[in-house]
Structure 1
Amino acid sequence: MGRPRGCGLRTDDERADGRARGGVRGARARAPAAAGGGGGVNLARLLEDSAGRGDAEYLVADGQRVGFRENHERAHALAAALRREYGIGRGDRVAILAANGIPWITAFWAVTALGGVAVAMNARWAAPEVEHALRLTEPALVLADERRRRLMPRTGDDAVPVCAIESVETMVAAGAGGVVSGGLRAQSEDPATILFTSGTTGRAKGVVHPQRSLIATVDHQRASRVDDPAPRRYLLATPLFHVAALHNLTVPRLVVGDAAVLWEGRFDIDGVTRLIEGESVTHWSAVPTMAARLLDLLEEHPEAAERLRTLRALSLITAPASPAMQDRLRALVPTVRTSLAATYGLTETACPVTAATDSDLAADPLCVGTPVPRMEVQIREGRRPAAGVGEIWARGPHLMSGYWRDREATGAAFDADGWLRTGDVGEFVEGRLRVHSRRTDLIIRGGENVYPAEVEAVVESHPAVAECMVHGAAHPEWGQEVCAVVVPADWSAGTLGGADPALPDGLVRFASERLAAYKVPVRWTVRDAPLPRNASGKVVRGEVLRRGA
C-alpha cells in the first residue's frame, strides 16, 4: 500500500515543523503555557535514562518478563526496523490498534524513540470508527493485531500501510543493536500522543498531548514518591488506549522504577485476583465495574480475599464510586481498609485533576478529593468564578495542547488564560471537589464513555428511523446502560402505523455493525410522537425521560 495523503517521506526537521505541529496550529495560544513541564527533558530522554535500572522488572505479561534495560533495547531495535522498513521518523504519526500486551508498549516506546507521535486507537471500535480516526490523523503506519486488521480499509484514499503487531518480536530481533535519536530532539510542545474522545458532534476528536503534559505527569508521580521510594507492582487492567493506562501507569512506571503487570484478554475477576496473588501486585487502579465484580467474587467466595494480601492500595478511577461500594470494599478487602483512593480526570488531562485519599473519602464519600499539585481548579458560572455549584474548569501543565485539526473545538475548550472547561458540573465542599454530573448527557458504561450524539447519529441513519434520543440508565454492574428512544420513519398522526414490531432487533444488528459493542443500546423504546424540541430545535431530553418516552 502507498503512504496516505500528506504522509510522504520528509526530513526529520520538516516532519517536526510541519506535520507534527500542524494539527493544533492556530489554536495553541489558548492552551496553557509549558510552565513546569519539559525544561529540556522529553520522553525519549526518560527512555534513555531508564536503561540504568538494568534487569529490574518493568513489564510482566503472560509469562514474559521485560526489564528496564531490555525494554530500552527492544524499543530501539523496533524503532530501527520501523525507520528502515517504513521510513518512520520524527513527527510521523504511528497508530496502534491492538489489545493490551507487551508489543503494544514496545511499539509506543519505539515511536517515542523516533520522535514520532503515538496514535492510541480504541481497540473496541467498529470499522466506521476506525476509518474516521484514520482520516482524521492520517498516520504513516498502523500497527494492528489480527482481529483489528480486518477493520482496516484496504483500498482508496483511506488505505494506510499496516504492520502486524504480532511481528514486533521478529522486528525487534531484526533491528537488534539499532539506535535511533530523533526523539531526543523533541521540544516541550511537540505532540507525543493522540488519544480519542468524543463531543457534541458525536465524532471522535483527537486529543493531542505534547511532551510537556506527559513530563508534568511523570514529575507529579515522582514527587509523590519521595517519602515512599520502595518499588511497587501495578496491575494494568484498563486499555492502553486510555489515558489512565498509558499516561498515568505505563509511562511513569518507567521513570519511577515500578513494574507493570498486564492483564490480557477479557476481564475476568477470578483470573485477575489470581494474577494479583501470583505476581504480588501492590497497587490497582480499577474502574467501578471492576470493583463491583471484585465485591461479587468476595461475597460469594470470601476465601478469595487471601489472594489480595499483597495489595496495598486500590484506586477507583473514571467514575465516582458510591459510598455503599466504598464501605463494601473496606469490609471485604482488609488490605485496603486505610488505603482506598479515588481520582477525577479527563482524556484532556494527562493526569488526574483531583485525587482523594482514604481520609478524604472517609470524611466525604461523595468527593473526588483536592487538586493535585500544580493543577488549579475553579468552579464557574459562565466564564466567571462562582461559589456553589457550577462548571468545573482546570489549568496546569498536564493539560492537552488541543484537539487534532479542530481549531474550533480547541478554542471552545480553553479560555485566553489557559483554563480548560471540563463540561462537568460540581462544587467544592469543605475544600474537596464533588462532581455532580459527568458532562452533559454523558453515559459511563463500565468505565467507557458513551456519547449519545454519536449513537443517535448511527441509529438515525437507519432508513426506518426518523428520530432518536439516547440516554443512560442506572445498572448495578456497569454503572449505566445505554438506552434509546426512537421515532419510526413511518410514524403519522399519533400512531405507529406500519412500524415493524421487530424494529428494535433490527436496530441492534444495524448499530452493532457500526459501533463498538459497549455503545449499542440494550433498551429500546419506540415512541408514537415526535421528540419534543425547544425553540432552538434541540430535543428536550428531560421531558422525554419524565414522560417515560
Structure 2
Amino acid sequence: MTLSLACILAEAARRYPDRTAVVDGPLHETYAALWAGALARGAALRELGVGPGDRVALMVPNTVDFPRAYYAILAAGAVVVPVHLLLTPAEVAYVLKDSGARLLLVDRSLAGAGAEAAWLASIPVVSVGGPEGAPEADAAWRGVLPRLEDTAAATAPLTTYAIRRPEDPAVFLYTSGTTGRSKGAVLTQLNLVMNAVVNAFDANDVSSEDVVLGCLPLFHAYGQTVAMNTTFRVGATLVLMGRFRPERALELMTEHRATIFHGVPTMYVALTEAAARQRPGPLALRMCVSGGASLPLAVLEAVEKHLGAPVFEGYGLSETSPTATVNQPQFGSRPGTVGHRVWGVDVEIAVPESDPPAFLPAGELGEIVVRGHNVFAGYHNLPEETAATMADGWFRTGDLGTRDADGFVTIVDRTKDVVIRGGFNVYPSEVEDVLMRHPGIGQVAVIGVPHPVHGEEVCAVVVPADPAAPPEPAEVVEWAAARLGRHKYPRQVEIAESLPLGPSMKVLKRELRRTVTPATGA
C-alpha cells in the first residue's frame, strides 16, 4: 500500500486546477500553478542530492513559498522539518543536527540567521523565494546563497510525487519535553493525510467554496494541518498573512470574503478589540476555530458579538497531528469544552500513569489519553521517551481533564509545567537552564502566570547568587532575550529570598503560581 501527504496538493490540482489555492498579497496562485511549482522545486531538491527519506529543514514564513517548498520536499519523497521562526540560530542548529537534516531551505528574508544555523550544523543551505536582489531579501546575503529556483529552472520538473508508505515519516515537528531538550515528533503520511481529511469532512465541514484566512504560523502543527492541508484537501482558498495584525486581518476578512478563521485565544482577543474600535464592514465568516490554549468564555462571547460567527474550540498536540477533539457542528458546541473526539480517534480519561490505562467514569478528573490514526510514530531517536508516553497503544497527553456524559471533553490543568504563551509552548526547564548561566542568579524557577493578552506570560522567580547585589529584573529580561527565542524569554522577573521546596527538595511551583502577581500589559 502506498500513501503520500503530497497527494493532498496533487489531487487538488487535478480536481480544481484553475481555482485559487493561495492568496499572498497581490499574488493569486492557482492549484495547477502551485503544484507545478512544487514539482519543479522537488526536481531541484533531487538535483541537490535529496532522496526519499532524507530530512529537509524548512525555515520560511507565511508566504506562498512555504507550501511550494513544503510540497516540493514531500514530492521528492523527503521528510519536512519545519523550523520555528522565533528560534535563535543556535536553537535552529540543534534542530538541524538532531533531525539529521541534509539541507536547510531558508527564505531570503531570513538568510542571515539560516546561514549561521546551517554553518553551526555543518549542512548546506539554499534560499527560496523572490528573484535575485529582491527588496525583501536579507541584503547581506544577496547573491551569496544558491537559490532553489535557479536549480529548478535548469532541471526538468518531476512528473509526479515519490511513492511512500502510510507508515513512512512525512514531517518532524520539534517540541520540547519536560527535560527541556527539543524532541522531534515523527508524524507519518497516514497521520497527516487523515488529520486533514477528518478536519475537512468531519470536524469542521469545510467545502471548496470556503475562503480561509491563514494567520497561524505554517511551521506550527495547527496552522500546517488545520489551515493549510485541510484547505488544500477540499480545494478551498487560503489567504496568507505573514505577521498577524488584527486591523489588517479584519481588512483581509472583508476584502476576500473569508468564511473561516483559525486562531489562538490571543488572536481572538486582539481581533475583538480591533473590531470594537473600527467596526469592520460586513463579514462573511461562518466559522471560527480556536486552539492552542483555553479560550476564556468572555472572549468567545466577544467573538460571536463582534465577528458574528460561532467559535468551535478544539484540542490537540503536535504528537496527535494535532487535532484530537473539537466542538463539531454535528454534535453541537458547548462553550468551555474542547468538544468531542474526532472521527476514528478514541479519547479517554484515565488514572494518571496507569499502564494499561485504567479508564474513569464520566465526570471524573484524570489524564487525557488518545488512540487512533492521529497518534505519532514516536520521538526521533528517543525510544525511551517514546515508550514513556505510550501505554497499551494510548498516547499519554500529560493533560488533566474530564469528559461528561454527553461526550464533551474539558481541559482542567496540565500535569507538565508547560507555559502556553500566545499559543506557543514554552518549557520552563529549557528557560531555567539558560537563566542559570547568568552570573547573578543562584536559583531560578520558571512558571506561567495569567496574562490578559497572551493567556500566560513566562515568569522567572530568581534567587540572587549574592543577596546583597541582586540582578535588576530588566537586565535579566534583556540578558535572556539575547539567548532565547522571542516566545520563550521571561518578560516578568521576580526576585525572591528563596524558593518553596517540598519534602523531596523539588521546587513547589504551585506555591509560586499562587503567590506571584499575574502579569499585565501587552
By the TM > 0.5 criterion, same fold?
A: yes
Q: Secondary structure at the match of 1:506?
A: helix
Residue 350 in structure 1 maps to residue 321 in structure 2: yes
Question: Which residue of the other structure, out of 237, 251, 259, is the alignment partner of 1:259?
Answer: 237
Helix, strand or coil at the partner of 1:514 = coil
- Residues in 2 aligned to 1:237 and 1:378: alpha-carbon distance in whole angstroms: 31
Q: Which of the residues 335, 340, 346 maps onto 1:365?
A: 335
For 1:411, the aligned partner's letter is A
Q: Which residue of 1 aligns with 2:512?
A: 544
AA matched with 2:213: L
The answer to whether the aligner puts 1:114 opposite 2:114 as a matched pair is no
Q: Distance in 2 between matches of 1:514 and 1:396?
A: 38
The unaligned stretches of length 5 or more in structure 1 are 1-38, 491-495
Matched, 1:340 2:311: yes
Paired residue for 1:462? Answer: 438
- Cα-to-partner distance string for 1:391-419 (whole Å, 9 max, x where unaligned): 1000011111111111121111111x310
Matches within 5 A, 1:510-529: 510-529=479-498
Q: Pick closer, same or farther for the CA change 1:229–1:525 going to 2, 3 Å.
A: closer
**Distance in 2, Cα, partners of 1:241 & 1:438:** 24
> Unaligned stretches of 5+ in structure 2?
131-146, 518-522
Match in the other structure for 1:428: 403
**1:451 correspondence with 2:421:** no
For residue 26 of structure 2, what is the aligned residue in structure 1?
63
What is residue 142 of structure 2 aligned with on the other side? none
Q: Is the 8 A contact 2:178 2:416 kept in 1?
A: no
Deviation at 1:516, TM superposition (A): 1.2
Distance 1:365 1:267 in 2: 25
Counterpart contact for 1:315–1:342, Cα < 8 Å: yes
Scaled by the length of structure 1, what TM-score is found? Answer: 0.85
2:46 aligns to what SS in structure 1?
helix
What does residue range 280-359 of structure 1 map to in structure 2 within 5 Å? 280-301=257-278, 303-304=279-280, 306-307=281-282, 309-334=283-308, 336=309, 339-357=310-328
Aligned equivalent of 2:149, options 170, 174, 178: 170
Structure 1 157/318 Cα, relative in aligned 2: closer, same or farther at 3 Å? closer
1:479 to 441, 455, 459: 455
Shift of residue 46, structure 1, vs aligned partner? 3.8
Amino acid at match of 1:256: V
Post-superposition CA distance 1:495-527 (Å, at most 9, x none): x22334x3x233222211211112111111111
Deviations 1:127-182 (Å, cap 9, x if unpaired)?
2211211221121110112454333447877221011123568337605751155x
Q: Partner of 1:213 in structure 2?
A: 191
- Partner residue of 2:255? 278
Q: CA deviation at 1:440?
A: 2.4
The separation in 2 between residues aligned to 1:205 and 1:51, in whole angstroms, is 34
- Give, in angstroms, the shift of residue 197 of structure 1: 1.0
Shift of 1:534: 3.0
Tell me what 1:49 maps to.
11
**Which residue matches 2:134?**
none
Q: What's the secondary structure of 2:401's corresponding residue?
A: strand
Moved more, 381-390 or 153-162: 153-162
Query: How far did residue 420 of structure 1 move?
Result: 0.3
Residues 77-97 of structure 1, C-alpha deviations (whole Å, 9 max, x = no match): 11111221x211111111011
Q: Which moved further from structure 2: 118-127 or 378-387?
A: 378-387
> What per-residue deviation string (whole Å, max 9, x for no partner) do you get for residues 303-342 of structure 1?
31x25x21111111111211111222222222x1xx3211
Partners in 2 of 1:172 and 1:235 — Cα distance?
A: 32
Say whether the 8 Å CA contact 1:45–1:184 is kept in structure 2: no
Separation of aligned partners in 1, 2:487 and 2:25? 26
Q: Is residue 2:178 matched to residue 1:200? A: yes
- In the TM superposition, residue 475 of structure 1 has moved relative to its aligned partner by 1.3
| 8 Å Cα contact 1:77-1:172 kept in structure 2 | no
Q: Is the Cα contact below 8 Å between 1:377 and 1:395 reproduced in 2?
A: yes
Q: What letter is aligned with 1:163?
A: V
CA-based RMSD of the aligned residues comes to: 2.3
1:32-62 Cα shifts (integer Å, max 9, x gaps)? xxxxxxx533223444333212111111101
Write the letter of the residue equivalent to 1:224. Answer: D
Amino acid in structure 2 at the alignment position of 1:214: L
Contact 1:77 1:171 in 2 (8 A): no
Q: Distance in 1 between matches of 2:423 and 2:11?
A: 34
- Alpha-carbon distance, 1:477 to partner: 1.2
Deviation digits for residues 6-55 of structure 1, max 9, x if unmatched? xxxxxxxxxxxxxxxxxxxxxxxxxxxxxxxxx53322344433321211
Matched residues in 1 for 2:313 and 2:513: separation? 31
- Whether contact under 8 Å (1:392, 1:424) holds in the other structure is yes
Q: After superposition, what is the alpha-carbon deviation per residue over 1:463-484, rounded to whole angstroms, capped at 9, x for unaligned?
A: 2211111111111111111111
The answer to whether residue 500 in structure 2 is matched with residue 532 in structure 1 is: yes
Q: 1:90 aligns with which of 48, 52, 55?
A: 52
In the alignment, which residue of structure 2 is the partner of 1:31?
A: none
CA gap 1:544/1:213 in 2 versus in 1, 3 angstroms: same
The reply to whether residue 390 of structure 1 matches residue 360 of structure 2 is no
Match of 2:65 in 1: 103
TM-score by length of 2: 0.89
Deviation at 1:185, TM superposition (A): 1.8
Q: Following TM superposition, by how much is the alpha carbon of 1:546 offset from its aligned partner in structure 2, in angstroms? A: 3.9
Over 3 Å counting, the alpha-carbon distance change for 1:49 and 1:177 in structure 2 is farther
The answer as to whether partners of 1:466 and 1:489 remain within 8 angstroms in 2 is: yes
* Residues 482 and 519 in structure 1, CA contact (< 8 A), matched pair in contact too: yes
Among residues 194, 197, 211, which one is paired with 1:233 in the alignment?
A: 211
Residues 130 and 330 (structure 1), Cα distance of their counterparts in 2 relative to 1, 3 Å cut: same
Q: Give the residue type in structure 2 aligned to 1:355.
A: V
Deviations 1:98-138 (A, max 9, x none): 21111111110100000000000101111221121122112
Q: Helix, strand or coil for the counterpart of 2:323?
A: coil
Aligned residue in 2 for 1:377 = 347
Q: Given the superposition, is the C-alpha separation of residues 194 and 328 from structure 1 closer, same or farther in structure 2, using an over 3 Å criterion?
A: same
Q: Counterpart in 1 of 2:36?
A: 73
